[in-house]
Amino acid sequence: MKPYTAAMAAAVVALGLALPLPAQAADPDRVVARVGDTEITLGHVIGLMARLPAQYQQLPDQVLFDGIVEQLVEQTAVAEARSEPFPRRLQIDLDNSRRELLVNDTLAAVIDAALSEEALQALYAERYLDAEPAREFNAAHILVQTEEEAEALRQELRDGADFAELARQHSADPGSAQNGGELGWFQAGQMVAPFEAAVMALEAGTISDPVESQFGWHLIQLNESRLAEAPQFDQVRDTLAQELQQQAVMDHIAEARAAVEVEVMTDGIDPATIRDQTLLAD
C-alpha cells in the first residue's frame, strides 16, 4: 500500500472515531447497569431525576446522568446486602411509603381528569353567570369592649357627632379605626354572623344600635350596597380549579372507601401512644 493511501485510510478511521455515534432510541426498559442480579434501567434513572431538588436539575445532562446512575448503583448495592425479615420500623416505613406513592399517583390522575376546560367553564357559569348576583355591602364600624361604651357613642351620633371621627378616637379595631371605621366592600359570609345580620337589616346611610359579636360591641354604618358584577373567567380560574380539584379528590376518596368494608378499632388506645417511638423497636 502506498504511503499516501495508507495516510488517507488512517485519516478516514480517525474521522470516524471522532464523529458521534447515532443516538439510540430512548427505551425506559433499557438496562444501564447491573448490580448482582438486579437490573437498573433507564426508566429508573429518569424517575429519580424527576425527584431531585431543583438546584441539581440545573446541572449538565451528562453530569446528571452519570451521577444518577452511580447513585442507583450504590443504593442497589447497599439495599441488596439487606435480607428479610426487615426490622419492624423499616417494614412499617416501606408499607407507609408504598401506600403514599400509590395514593399520590392515583389522586394526581383524578385531578388531571377533573381539570378539563369544559368543567372549568361549566363551574364558572354555575357560580357567576347562571346564579343570581350576590349583593355587596360597603360599611364602617366602631368597635368597643362594653355595651355601655357603645350606647354612649350611639347617643353622641344621635346628637350629630361625626361617625368617622368617633371611630378614629374610640374604635378598638386598628385595621379600620385610622380610616374612620371604613371596612370597604364585602359580601355575605365574609363577616361574623351578628355583624352580617345587622348590616343586612340597615338602610343605606343609617347606623345600627349596638351589636355584640365575639370581638366586642359594634356600631355599624351602612354606606351603600350594590349587586356584584361577575368576575372575568381568568380572574377566578385558579380558584375554580382548586374547587374542582378538592371536590374530585373528596369524591374519589369517598367512592374508594364506600367500595370496601372498613372497620375502625381504636377503642381503648391511648392517643398519646403515637408519640412512643420505642414501640417500633424490635
* Series of mean pLDDT values for 10-residue runs along the chain (282 residues): 37 39 74 95 95 92 96 95 90 96 96 95 92 91 98 97 97 96 95 97 97 98 93 95 96 97 95 93 87
CB 143 within 8 A of CB 218: yes
pTM value is: 0.60
Distances in Å between the Cα of 59 and the Cα atoms of 25, 33, 43, 64, 141 are 23, 22, 19, 6, 57
CB 130 within 8 A of CB 178: no
The Cα–Cα gap between 272 and 194 comes to 39
Please report the pLDDT score of residue 84 as a whole number.
87
Please report the pLDDT score of residue 25 as a whole number.
66
Please report the pLDDT score of residue 116 as a whole number.
94
Q: Which of 16, 9, 229 is nearest to 133 (CA)?
A: 229
Please report the pLDDT score of residue 10 as a whole number.
37
CA angle 172, 174, 178 (to 5 degrees): 110
CB 143 within 8 A of CB 171: yes
Per DSSP, the residues of 103-150 read HHHHHHHHHHHH--HHHHHHHHIIIIISSPPPEEEEEEEEEESSHHHH
Q: Residue 249 contacts by C-beta under 8 Å, 6 or more apart in sequence? A: 107, 110, 111
Q: Which of 50, 47, 31 is nearest to 39 (CA)?
A: 31
The Cα–Cα gap between 154 and 240 comes to 43
The domain 135-227 is classified under which CATH number: 2.40.50.140, 3.10.50.40, 1.10.760.10, 3.30.70.2190? 3.10.50.40
Please report the pLDDT score of residue 200 as a whole number.
95
Task: Report the largest interatomic distance among the alpha carbons of the chain, rounded to a whole angstrom.
Answer: 121
CB 222 within 8 A of CB 199: yes
DSSP state of 52: S
Q: Residue 167 contacts by C-beta under 8 Å, 6 or more apart in sequence? A: 140, 141, 142, 176, 177, 180, 181
Q: Which residue has the cell 346628637?
A: 159
- Going from N- to C-terminal start, the domains of the chain cover 27-81, 88-133+232-255, 135-227
Please report the pLDDT score of residue 7 as a whole number.
38
Q: Residue 245 contacts by C-beta under 8 Å, 6 or more apart in sequence? A: 111, 114, 115
